[in-house]
Structure 1
Amino acid sequence: MSLPRDIRAFLSHYHGQTDDPQALQNLLFYKNQLRCQPDDLLISEIHQSWRKDYIQLEHNHGYIQWLFPIRENGMNFEAQALQSHEVAAMKEDPRVIERIKASYELMLDFYGMSLLDFETGLVGRSEGYRARYRNFLQAPHNNLRITRIFKCLSEMGMEHLNAGFLLHVLNEQSEHNQLNTGLLRDSMDRWWANCLRNEADRKWIGLTIKKARNGENFNREQYESSLQRRKESGSLAEPQCADA
Protein backbone atom coordinates (compact mmCIF):
# COMPACT_ATOMS: atom_id res chain seq x y z
CA MET A 1 0.00 0.00 0.00
CA SER A 2 1.46 3.34 -1.04
CA LEU A 3 1.91 6.00 1.61
CA PRO A 4 -0.38 9.04 1.55
CA ARG A 5 1.18 12.17 0.06
CA ASP A 6 1.24 14.07 3.35
CA ILE A 7 3.01 11.18 5.05
CA ARG A 8 5.65 11.08 2.32
CA ALA A 9 6.24 14.81 2.80
CA PHE A 10 6.48 14.34 6.57
CA LEU A 11 8.95 11.46 6.30
CA SER A 12 11.14 13.50 3.94
CA HIS A 13 11.26 16.32 6.53
CA TYR A 14 9.32 18.40 3.98
CA HIS A 15 12.19 18.33 1.52
CA GLY A 16 12.38 21.51 -0.54
CA GLN A 17 10.16 23.54 1.75
CA THR A 18 11.62 26.97 2.50
CA ASP A 19 11.76 28.62 5.91
CA ASP A 20 10.24 32.04 6.57
CA PRO A 21 12.39 33.65 9.30
CA GLN A 22 9.77 36.37 9.84
CA ALA A 23 7.05 33.86 10.76
CA LEU A 24 6.96 33.53 14.56
CA GLN A 25 3.34 32.87 15.55
CA ASN A 26 3.81 29.31 16.79
CA LEU A 27 6.91 30.16 18.80
CA LEU A 28 5.30 33.21 20.40
CA PHE A 29 2.09 31.32 21.15
CA TYR A 30 4.00 28.60 22.96
CA LYS A 31 6.05 31.19 24.79
CA ASN A 32 2.69 32.46 26.10
CA GLN A 33 3.23 35.81 24.37
CA LEU A 34 0.63 35.56 21.59
CA ARG A 35 -3.07 34.77 21.64
CA CYS A 36 -4.40 32.17 19.24
CA GLN A 37 -7.11 33.11 16.80
CA PRO A 38 -10.04 33.07 16.52
CA ASP A 39 -10.36 32.13 20.22
CA ASP A 40 -8.10 34.96 21.46
CA LEU A 41 -6.55 32.82 24.21
CA LEU A 42 -3.05 32.28 25.52
CA ILE A 43 -1.76 28.73 25.68
CA SER A 44 -1.83 28.90 29.49
CA GLU A 45 -5.51 29.89 29.40
CA ILE A 46 -6.40 26.95 27.17
CA HIS A 47 -4.60 24.53 29.44
CA GLN A 48 -6.31 25.96 32.50
CA SER A 49 -9.89 26.39 31.27
CA TRP A 50 -10.41 23.76 28.59
CA ARG A 51 -9.36 20.59 30.39
CA LYS A 52 -12.40 18.30 30.51
CA ASP A 53 -14.42 20.84 28.52
CA TYR A 54 -15.26 18.11 26.05
CA ILE A 55 -17.88 20.09 24.15
CA GLN A 56 -15.35 22.81 23.44
CA LEU A 57 -12.65 20.35 22.45
CA GLU A 58 -14.99 18.44 20.17
CA HIS A 59 -16.78 21.25 18.33
CA ASN A 60 -14.15 23.99 18.22
CA HIS A 61 -12.03 23.41 15.13
CA GLY A 62 -9.67 26.38 15.31
CA TYR A 63 -7.45 25.49 18.25
CA ILE A 64 -5.88 22.24 17.12
CA GLN A 65 -3.54 23.92 14.63
CA TRP A 66 -2.26 26.23 17.35
CA LEU A 67 -1.78 23.48 19.93
CA PHE A 68 -0.05 21.17 17.44
CA PRO A 69 1.58 23.19 14.65
CA ILE A 70 3.05 21.30 11.72
CA ARG A 71 4.73 22.30 8.48
CA GLU A 72 1.48 22.04 6.58
CA ASN A 73 -1.35 24.51 6.14
CA GLY A 74 -4.68 23.55 7.70
CA MET A 75 -8.26 24.76 7.73
CA ASN A 76 -7.71 27.60 10.20
CA PHE A 77 -6.38 30.39 8.01
CA GLU A 78 -5.54 32.43 11.11
CA ALA A 79 -2.93 29.83 12.12
CA GLN A 80 0.54 29.72 10.61
CA ALA A 81 2.36 26.66 9.30
CA LEU A 82 5.29 25.67 11.50
CA GLN A 83 8.69 26.95 10.39
CA SER A 84 11.98 25.11 10.80
CA HIS A 85 13.55 27.96 12.79
CA GLU A 86 10.57 27.81 15.17
CA VAL A 87 11.14 24.09 15.68
CA ALA A 88 14.75 24.71 16.68
CA ALA A 89 13.81 27.49 19.12
CA MET A 90 10.88 25.61 20.63
CA LYS A 91 12.89 22.44 21.25
CA GLU A 92 15.51 24.45 23.16
CA ASP A 93 12.99 26.07 25.54
CA PRO A 94 12.04 23.78 28.47
CA ARG A 95 8.90 25.84 29.17
CA VAL A 96 7.71 25.33 25.61
CA ILE A 97 8.33 21.59 25.84
CA GLU A 98 6.33 21.42 29.07
CA ARG A 99 3.46 23.26 27.40
CA ILE A 100 3.49 20.89 24.43
CA LYS A 101 3.37 17.99 26.88
CA ALA A 102 0.41 19.67 28.62
CA SER A 103 -1.35 20.06 25.26
CA TYR A 104 -0.84 16.36 24.58
CA GLU A 105 -2.23 15.43 28.00
CA LEU A 106 -5.22 17.70 27.39
CA MET A 107 -6.05 15.80 24.22
CA LEU A 108 -5.29 12.40 25.74
CA ASP A 109 -7.92 13.06 28.40
CA PHE A 110 -10.35 14.11 25.67
CA TYR A 111 -9.78 10.73 23.98
CA GLY A 112 -10.26 8.77 27.23
CA MET A 113 -6.60 8.24 28.04
CA SER A 114 -3.92 9.45 30.42
CA LEU A 115 -0.14 9.66 30.19
CA LEU A 116 1.31 7.31 32.80
CA ASP A 117 5.00 7.75 32.01
CA PHE A 118 6.40 10.57 29.91
CA GLU A 119 9.80 8.91 29.56
CA THR A 120 8.39 5.80 27.87
CA GLY A 121 5.17 7.29 26.47
CA LEU A 122 3.07 4.74 28.36
CA VAL A 123 -0.66 5.47 28.11
CA GLY A 124 -3.61 4.07 30.06
CA ARG A 125 -7.34 4.51 30.23
CA SER A 126 -8.69 7.58 31.99
CA GLU A 127 -11.36 7.35 34.68
CA GLY A 128 -14.16 8.25 32.25
CA TYR A 129 -12.80 6.40 29.27
CA ARG A 130 -16.02 4.66 28.20
CA ALA A 131 -17.83 7.86 27.22
CA ARG A 132 -14.68 9.31 25.67
CA TYR A 133 -14.04 6.16 23.64
CA ARG A 134 -17.63 6.35 22.31
CA ASN A 135 -17.09 9.94 21.24
CA PHE A 136 -13.78 8.99 19.65
CA LEU A 137 -15.50 6.42 17.46
CA GLN A 138 -18.47 8.64 16.63
CA ALA A 139 -16.40 11.69 15.59
CA PRO A 140 -13.88 10.46 13.00
CA HIS A 141 -12.50 13.95 12.38
CA ASN A 142 -10.46 13.21 15.50
CA ASN A 143 -8.50 10.70 13.45
CA LEU A 144 -7.14 13.61 11.40
CA ARG A 145 -6.34 15.51 14.58
CA ILE A 146 -4.28 12.61 15.88
CA THR A 147 -2.23 12.52 12.67
CA ARG A 148 -1.46 16.21 13.25
CA ILE A 149 -0.60 15.59 16.89
CA PHE A 150 1.83 12.83 15.93
CA LYS A 151 3.54 14.95 13.29
CA CYS A 152 3.95 17.82 15.77
CA LEU A 153 5.34 15.59 18.51
CA SER A 154 7.84 14.16 16.05
CA GLU A 155 8.98 17.66 15.08
CA MET A 156 9.46 18.51 18.74
CA GLY A 157 11.62 15.51 19.55
CA MET A 158 8.88 13.58 21.35
CA GLU A 159 8.20 10.87 18.79
CA HIS A 160 8.27 8.21 21.50
CA LEU A 161 4.85 9.52 22.59
CA ASN A 162 3.44 8.56 19.19
CA ALA A 163 4.43 4.94 19.75
CA GLY A 164 2.93 5.04 23.25
CA PHE A 165 -0.45 6.21 21.95
CA LEU A 166 -0.50 4.01 18.88
CA LEU A 167 0.44 0.80 20.67
CA HIS A 168 -2.07 1.52 23.45
CA VAL A 169 -4.81 1.65 20.82
CA LEU A 170 -3.51 -1.57 19.26
CA ASN A 171 -3.61 -3.28 22.66
CA GLU A 172 -7.17 -2.04 23.24
CA GLN A 173 -8.22 -3.44 19.86
CA SER A 174 -6.39 -6.72 20.21
CA GLU A 175 -7.07 -7.60 23.83
CA HIS A 176 -10.37 -5.83 24.58
CA ASN A 177 -12.02 -5.13 21.19
CA GLN A 178 -12.10 -1.42 22.02
CA LEU A 179 -11.53 1.40 19.48
CA ASN A 180 -11.86 -1.24 16.82
CA THR A 181 -13.82 0.15 13.87
CA GLY A 182 -12.74 -0.14 10.26
CA LEU A 183 -12.44 3.63 9.88
CA LEU A 184 -10.21 3.98 12.92
CA ARG A 185 -8.08 1.02 11.86
CA ASP A 186 -7.62 2.58 8.43
CA SER A 187 -6.41 5.86 9.93
CA MET A 188 -4.16 3.95 12.28
CA ASP A 189 -2.63 1.65 9.67
CA ARG A 190 -2.13 4.18 6.86
CA TRP A 191 -1.39 7.40 8.76
CA TRP A 192 -0.63 7.04 12.46
CA ALA A 193 1.69 4.05 12.12
CA ASN A 194 3.75 5.98 9.57
CA CYS A 195 4.10 9.15 11.64
CA LEU A 196 7.46 7.97 12.95
CA ARG A 197 10.63 9.08 11.23
CA ASN A 198 12.64 6.42 13.02
CA GLU A 199 12.66 3.79 10.30
CA ALA A 200 13.35 0.83 12.60
CA ASP A 201 10.49 1.76 14.95
CA ARG A 202 8.16 2.38 12.01
CA LYS A 203 9.00 -1.03 10.54
CA TRP A 204 8.51 -2.80 13.88
CA ILE A 205 5.17 -1.10 14.50
CA GLY A 206 3.97 -1.94 11.00
CA LEU A 207 4.86 -5.60 11.50
CA THR A 208 3.24 -5.68 14.96
CA ILE A 209 0.03 -4.19 13.59
CA LYS A 210 0.00 -6.70 10.73
CA LYS A 211 0.32 -9.59 13.18
CA ALA A 212 -2.55 -8.20 15.27
CA ARG A 213 -4.72 -7.74 12.18
CA ASN A 214 -4.06 -11.42 11.38
CA GLY A 215 -5.34 -12.49 14.79
CA GLU A 216 -2.20 -12.52 16.94
CA ASN A 217 -2.89 -11.01 20.36
CA PHE A 218 -0.97 -7.89 21.36
CA ASN A 219 -1.40 -7.80 25.11
CA ARG A 220 -0.69 -5.20 27.75
CA GLU A 221 2.52 -6.88 28.87
CA GLN A 222 3.87 -6.76 25.32
CA TYR A 223 2.85 -3.11 25.06
CA GLU A 224 4.59 -2.06 28.25
CA SER A 225 7.72 -4.10 27.60
CA SER A 226 8.12 -2.68 24.08
CA LEU A 227 8.08 0.89 25.41
CA GLN A 228 10.50 0.04 28.21
CA ARG A 229 12.78 -1.62 25.66
CA ARG A 230 12.77 1.51 23.54
CA LYS A 231 13.66 3.63 26.56
CA GLU A 232 16.58 1.36 27.50
CA SER A 233 17.94 0.41 24.07
CA GLY A 234 16.62 3.13 21.77
CA SER A 235 14.57 0.66 19.73
CA LEU A 236 11.15 -0.96 19.95
CA ALA A 237 12.47 -4.06 18.22
CA GLU A 238 13.60 -7.03 20.25
CA PRO A 239 17.43 -7.35 20.17
CA GLN A 240 17.40 -10.52 18.08
CA CYS A 241 15.19 -8.76 15.49
CA ALA A 242 16.99 -5.44 15.41
CA ASP A 243 18.81 -6.20 12.16
CA ALA A 244 15.99 -8.14 10.54
Structure 2
Amino acid sequence: MSLPRDIRAFLSHYHGQTDDRQASVNLLFYQNRLRCKPDDLLISEIHQRYATVIHWRKDYNQLEYNHGYIQWLFPIRENGMNFEAQALQPHEAVAMKEDSDVIERVKASYGLLLDFYGMCLLNFETGLIGRSEGYKARYRNLLQAPHNNLRVTRILKCLSEMGLEHLNAGFLLYVLNEQSEHKQLNTSLLRDSMDRWWANCLRNEADREWIGLTIKKARNGEIFSREKYEASLQRRKELGSFAEPQLESIDA
Protein backbone atom coordinates (compact mmCIF):
# COMPACT_ATOMS: atom_id res chain seq x y z
CA MET A 1 0.00 0.00 0.00
CA SER A 2 1.54 3.30 -1.10
CA LEU A 3 1.72 6.06 1.48
CA PRO A 4 -0.40 9.20 0.98
CA ARG A 5 1.50 12.22 -0.29
CA ASP A 6 1.09 14.21 2.93
CA ILE A 7 2.48 11.29 4.94
CA ARG A 8 5.49 11.02 2.66
CA ALA A 9 6.12 14.75 3.16
CA PHE A 10 5.76 14.36 6.94
CA LEU A 11 8.17 11.42 7.11
CA SER A 12 10.73 13.36 5.05
CA HIS A 13 10.52 16.27 7.51
CA TYR A 14 9.00 18.25 4.62
CA HIS A 15 12.18 18.10 2.59
CA GLY A 16 12.62 21.19 0.45
CA GLN A 17 10.40 23.48 2.49
CA THR A 18 11.96 26.69 3.74
CA ASP A 19 11.75 28.25 7.19
CA ASP A 20 10.08 31.64 7.30
CA ARG A 21 11.88 33.21 10.25
CA GLN A 22 9.43 36.13 10.25
CA ALA A 23 6.43 33.86 10.85
CA SER A 24 6.00 32.98 14.53
CA VAL A 25 2.28 33.13 15.29
CA ASN A 26 2.11 29.51 16.52
CA LEU A 27 4.95 30.07 18.96
CA LEU A 28 3.42 33.33 20.18
CA PHE A 29 -0.01 31.71 20.57
CA TYR A 30 1.40 28.84 22.63
CA GLN A 31 3.42 31.33 24.68
CA ASN A 32 0.07 32.97 25.51
CA ARG A 33 1.11 36.20 23.76
CA LEU A 34 -1.22 36.09 20.75
CA ARG A 35 -4.94 35.48 20.28
CA CYS A 36 -6.10 32.87 17.80
CA LYS A 37 -8.30 33.89 14.91
CA PRO A 38 -11.22 34.00 14.37
CA ASP A 39 -12.11 33.01 17.96
CA ASP A 40 -9.98 35.83 19.44
CA LEU A 41 -8.85 33.81 22.46
CA LEU A 42 -5.54 33.30 24.20
CA ILE A 43 -4.69 29.67 24.72
CA SER A 44 -4.95 30.22 28.50
CA GLU A 45 -8.52 31.42 27.97
CA ILE A 46 -9.36 28.33 25.95
CA HIS A 47 -7.86 26.08 28.59
CA GLN A 48 -9.48 28.02 31.48
CA ARG A 49 -12.85 27.32 29.98
CA TYR A 50 -12.28 23.63 30.62
CA ALA A 51 -12.81 24.24 34.34
CA THR A 52 -15.97 26.31 34.21
CA VAL A 53 -19.61 25.75 33.41
CA ILE A 54 -19.17 27.18 29.92
CA HIS A 55 -15.86 25.51 29.15
CA TRP A 56 -15.10 23.95 25.80
CA ARG A 57 -14.15 20.63 27.38
CA LYS A 58 -17.78 19.55 27.54
CA ASP A 59 -19.07 21.87 24.84
CA TYR A 60 -18.95 19.14 22.26
CA ASN A 61 -20.99 21.12 19.72
CA GLN A 62 -18.30 23.81 19.80
CA LEU A 63 -15.56 21.26 19.27
CA GLU A 64 -17.48 19.51 16.52
CA TYR A 65 -18.69 22.42 14.42
CA ASN A 66 -16.04 25.09 15.04
CA HIS A 67 -13.38 24.45 12.41
CA GLY A 68 -11.11 27.37 13.24
CA TYR A 69 -9.44 26.20 16.45
CA ILE A 70 -7.85 22.92 15.39
CA GLN A 71 -5.00 24.52 13.41
CA TRP A 72 -4.13 26.76 16.34
CA LEU A 73 -4.16 24.00 18.93
CA PHE A 74 -2.26 21.57 16.71
CA PRO A 75 -0.03 23.45 14.24
CA ILE A 76 1.79 21.39 11.61
CA ARG A 77 3.97 22.11 8.59
CA GLU A 78 0.91 22.09 6.33
CA ASN A 79 -1.80 24.64 5.66
CA GLY A 80 -5.42 23.92 6.54
CA MET A 81 -8.86 25.41 6.05
CA ASN A 82 -8.43 28.32 8.47
CA PHE A 83 -6.59 30.95 6.43
CA GLU A 84 -6.12 33.07 9.57
CA ALA A 85 -3.82 30.39 10.97
CA GLN A 86 -0.27 29.72 9.83
CA ALA A 87 1.65 26.56 8.99
CA LEU A 88 4.19 25.63 11.67
CA GLN A 89 7.70 26.85 10.90
CA PRO A 90 10.79 24.79 11.84
CA HIS A 91 12.20 27.50 14.13
CA GLU A 92 8.87 27.60 15.97
CA ALA A 93 8.90 23.85 16.52
CA VAL A 94 12.40 24.02 18.00
CA ALA A 95 11.45 26.84 20.38
CA MET A 96 8.18 25.20 21.38
CA LYS A 97 9.83 21.86 22.21
CA GLU A 98 12.30 23.65 24.48
CA ASP A 99 9.62 25.58 26.41
CA SER A 100 8.16 23.52 29.26
CA ASP A 101 5.14 25.84 29.57
CA VAL A 102 4.36 25.33 25.89
CA ILE A 103 4.60 21.55 26.25
CA GLU A 104 2.21 21.64 29.20
CA ARG A 105 -0.25 23.58 27.04
CA VAL A 106 0.14 21.10 24.18
CA LYS A 107 -0.58 18.34 26.69
CA ALA A 108 -3.74 20.19 27.81
CA SER A 109 -4.86 20.61 24.20
CA TYR A 110 -4.36 16.90 23.61
CA GLY A 111 -6.41 16.10 26.71
CA LEU A 112 -9.21 18.34 25.46
CA LEU A 113 -9.50 16.50 22.16
CA LEU A 114 -9.10 13.09 23.77
CA ASP A 115 -12.11 13.87 25.95
CA PHE A 116 -14.01 14.95 22.84
CA TYR A 117 -13.25 11.55 21.32
CA GLY A 118 -14.29 9.64 24.45
CA MET A 119 -10.83 9.03 25.87
CA CYS A 120 -8.57 10.24 28.65
CA LEU A 121 -4.80 10.25 29.15
CA LEU A 122 -3.94 8.04 32.13
CA ASN A 123 -0.16 8.24 32.00
CA PHE A 124 1.73 10.99 30.19
CA GLU A 125 5.07 9.18 30.45
CA THR A 126 3.85 6.09 28.58
CA GLY A 127 0.96 7.59 26.61
CA LEU A 128 -1.53 5.17 28.18
CA ILE A 129 -5.17 6.02 27.41
CA GLY A 130 -8.48 4.87 28.88
CA ARG A 131 -12.15 5.44 28.21
CA SER A 132 -13.70 8.66 29.49
CA GLU A 133 -17.05 8.97 31.18
CA GLY A 134 -19.74 8.96 28.51
CA TYR A 135 -17.41 7.43 25.95
CA LYS A 136 -20.19 5.63 24.08
CA ALA A 137 -21.73 8.86 22.79
CA ARG A 138 -18.30 10.27 21.94
CA TYR A 139 -17.31 7.10 20.07
CA ARG A 140 -20.58 7.29 18.16
CA ASN A 141 -19.85 10.89 17.16
CA LEU A 142 -16.34 9.97 16.04
CA LEU A 143 -17.73 7.28 13.77
CA GLN A 144 -20.51 9.50 12.41
CA ALA A 145 -18.35 12.59 11.77
CA PRO A 146 -15.41 11.31 9.71
CA HIS A 147 -13.88 14.78 9.30
CA ASN A 148 -12.50 14.07 12.77
CA ASN A 149 -10.26 11.45 11.15
CA LEU A 150 -8.42 14.31 9.45
CA ARG A 151 -8.17 16.12 12.77
CA VAL A 152 -6.60 13.06 14.39
CA THR A 153 -3.99 12.96 11.63
CA ARG A 154 -3.17 16.61 12.36
CA ILE A 155 -2.99 15.98 16.10
CA LEU A 156 -0.57 13.09 15.67
CA LYS A 157 1.65 15.05 13.29
CA CYS A 158 1.72 17.96 15.73
CA LEU A 159 2.62 15.76 18.69
CA SER A 160 5.50 14.38 16.66
CA GLU A 161 6.71 17.90 15.83
CA MET A 162 6.59 18.71 19.56
CA GLY A 163 8.76 15.74 20.51
CA LEU A 164 5.81 13.86 22.00
CA GLU A 165 5.64 10.97 19.57
CA HIS A 166 5.25 8.43 22.38
CA LEU A 167 1.72 9.82 22.76
CA ASN A 168 1.03 8.85 19.14
CA ALA A 169 1.92 5.26 19.94
CA GLY A 170 -0.31 5.31 23.02
CA PHE A 171 -3.23 6.58 20.95
CA LEU A 172 -2.78 4.16 18.07
CA LEU A 173 -2.45 1.09 20.24
CA TYR A 174 -5.40 2.17 22.37
CA VAL A 175 -7.63 2.36 19.29
CA LEU A 176 -6.27 -1.01 18.13
CA ASN A 177 -7.15 -2.58 21.49
CA GLU A 178 -10.68 -1.15 21.30
CA GLN A 179 -11.07 -2.55 17.79
CA SER A 180 -9.52 -5.92 18.47
CA GLU A 181 -10.78 -6.84 21.92
CA HIS A 182 -14.00 -4.82 22.18
CA LYS A 183 -15.12 -4.29 18.55
CA GLN A 184 -15.30 -0.54 19.13
CA LEU A 185 -14.19 2.20 16.68
CA ASN A 186 -14.11 -0.51 14.05
CA THR A 187 -15.71 0.84 10.89
CA SER A 188 -13.97 0.39 7.55
CA LEU A 189 -13.57 4.17 7.15
CA LEU A 190 -11.89 4.61 10.51
CA ARG A 191 -9.67 1.56 9.93
CA ASP A 192 -8.61 3.02 6.58
CA SER A 193 -7.66 6.32 8.21
CA MET A 194 -5.77 4.46 10.90
CA ASP A 195 -3.91 2.07 8.62
CA ARG A 196 -2.95 4.57 5.91
CA TRP A 197 -2.52 7.80 7.86
CA TRP A 198 -2.48 7.55 11.66
CA ALA A 199 -0.17 4.54 11.90
CA ASN A 200 2.37 6.32 9.72
CA CYS A 201 2.48 9.51 11.81
CA LEU A 202 5.59 8.28 13.59
CA ARG A 203 9.03 9.27 12.38
CA ASN A 204 10.67 6.68 14.60
CA GLU A 205 11.06 3.92 12.03
CA ALA A 206 11.32 1.06 14.52
CA ASP A 207 8.16 2.16 16.35
CA ARG A 208 6.32 2.65 13.06
CA GLU A 209 7.25 -0.80 11.80
CA TRP A 210 6.36 -2.54 15.08
CA ILE A 211 2.99 -0.81 15.31
CA GLY A 212 2.29 -1.51 11.64
CA LEU A 213 3.02 -5.21 12.14
CA THR A 214 0.89 -5.31 15.30
CA ILE A 215 -2.01 -3.72 13.44
CA LYS A 216 -1.62 -6.24 10.61
CA LYS A 217 -1.74 -9.14 13.09
CA ALA A 218 -4.90 -7.72 14.66
CA ARG A 219 -6.50 -7.26 11.24
CA ASN A 220 -5.80 -10.96 10.64
CA GLY A 221 -7.60 -11.99 13.83
CA GLU A 222 -4.97 -11.93 16.56
CA ILE A 223 -6.39 -10.27 19.68
CA PHE A 224 -4.49 -7.21 20.84
CA SER A 225 -5.64 -7.19 24.46
CA ARG A 226 -5.56 -4.44 27.05
CA GLU A 227 -2.85 -6.41 28.81
CA LYS A 228 -0.72 -6.37 25.66
CA TYR A 229 -1.43 -2.68 25.19
CA GLU A 230 -0.27 -1.71 28.67
CA ALA A 231 2.74 -4.04 28.55
CA SER A 232 3.93 -2.70 25.20
CA LEU A 233 3.84 0.93 26.37
CA GLN A 234 5.63 0.09 29.59
CA ARG A 235 8.27 -1.87 27.66
CA ARG A 236 8.90 1.06 25.36
CA LYS A 237 9.24 3.42 28.32
CA GLU A 238 11.68 1.16 30.17
CA LEU A 239 13.70 -0.25 27.26
CA GLY A 240 13.24 2.39 24.60
CA SER A 241 11.71 -0.10 22.19
CA PHE A 242 8.46 -1.97 21.60
CA ALA A 243 10.40 -5.10 20.62
CA GLU A 244 10.43 -7.79 23.27
CA PRO A 245 13.93 -8.67 24.51
CA GLN A 246 15.32 -11.78 22.88
CA LEU A 247 16.30 -14.54 25.30
CA GLU A 248 19.94 -15.49 25.02
CA SER A 249 20.69 -18.91 23.62
CA ILE A 250 21.68 -21.58 26.14
CA ASP A 251 24.84 -22.20 24.12
CA ALA A 252 25.78 -18.51 24.13
TM-score > 0.5, shorter chain as reference? yes
In the TM superposition, 1:122-201 aligns within 5 A as: 122-201=128-207
Say yes or no: does 1:213 pair with 2:185. no
Say yes or no: does 1:82 pair with 2:95. no
Say yes or no: does 1:59 pair with 2:65. yes
Say yes or no: does 1:237 pair with 2:243. yes
Cα deviation digits, residues 44-93 of structure 1 (max 9, x gap)? 11112211110100000010000000000111100000000001111111
Per the alignment, in what secondary structure is the counterpart of residue 39 of structure 2? coil
Counterpart Cα distance in 2 of 1:156 and 1:211:
30
Per the alignment, in what secondary structure is the counterpart of residue 116 of structure 1? strand
Counterpart for residue 31 of structure 2:
31
Per the alignment, in what secondary structure is the counterpart of residue 114 of structure 1? strand
Counterpart Cα distance in 2 of 1:68 and 1:191:
16
Q: Which amino acid aligns with 2:236?
A: R
**TM-score normalised by structure 1 residue count:** 0.98
Q: Which amino acid aligns with 1:131?
A: A
Deviation at 1:150, TM superposition (A): 0.3
Counterpart Cα distance in 2 of 1:17 and 1:239:
39
Cα deviation digits, residues 136-167 of structure 1 (max 9, x gap)? 10000000000000000000000000010110
In the TM superposition, 1:79-118 aligns within 5 A as: 79-118=85-124
Counterpart Cα distance in 1 of 2:244 and 2:119:
27
Counterpart Cα distance in 1 of 2:31 and 2:77:
19
Counterpart Cα distance in 1 of 2:199 and 2:47:
28
**TM-score normalised by structure 2 residue count:** 0.95
Deviation at 1:209, TM superposition (A): 0.3
Counterpart Cα distance in 2 of 1:238 and 1:12:
28
Counterpart Cα distance in 2 of 1:66 and 1:236:
32
Q: Which amino acid aligns with 1:170?
A: L
Counterpart for residue 46 of structure 2:
46
Deviation at 1:176, TM superposition (A): 0.4
Counterpart Cα distance in 2 of 1:47 and 1:165:
21
> Unpaired segments of 5 or more residues in structure 2?
50-55, 248-252
- Quote the RMSD (CA, aligned, Å): 0.9
Cα deviation digits, residues 177-198 of structure 1 (max 9, x gap)? 0000000000000000000000
In the TM superposition, 1:217-228 aligns within 5 A as: 217-228=223-234
Per the alignment, in what secondary structure is the counterpart of residue 129 of structure 2? strand
Counterpart Cα distance in 2 of 1:223 and 1:114:
15
Cα deviation digits, residues 109-134 of structure 1 (max 9, x gap)? 00000000000000000011011000
Deviation at 1:236, TM superposition (A): 1.3
> Unpaired segments of 5 or more residues in structure 1?
none
Per the alignment, in what secondary structure is the counterpart of residue 51 of structure 1? helix
Q: Which amino acid aligns with 1:166?
A: L
Deviation at 1:232, TM superposition (A): 0.6
Identical residues among aligned pairs (%): 85
- Number of residue-to-residue matches in the alignment: 241
Counterpart for residue 250 of structure 2:
none
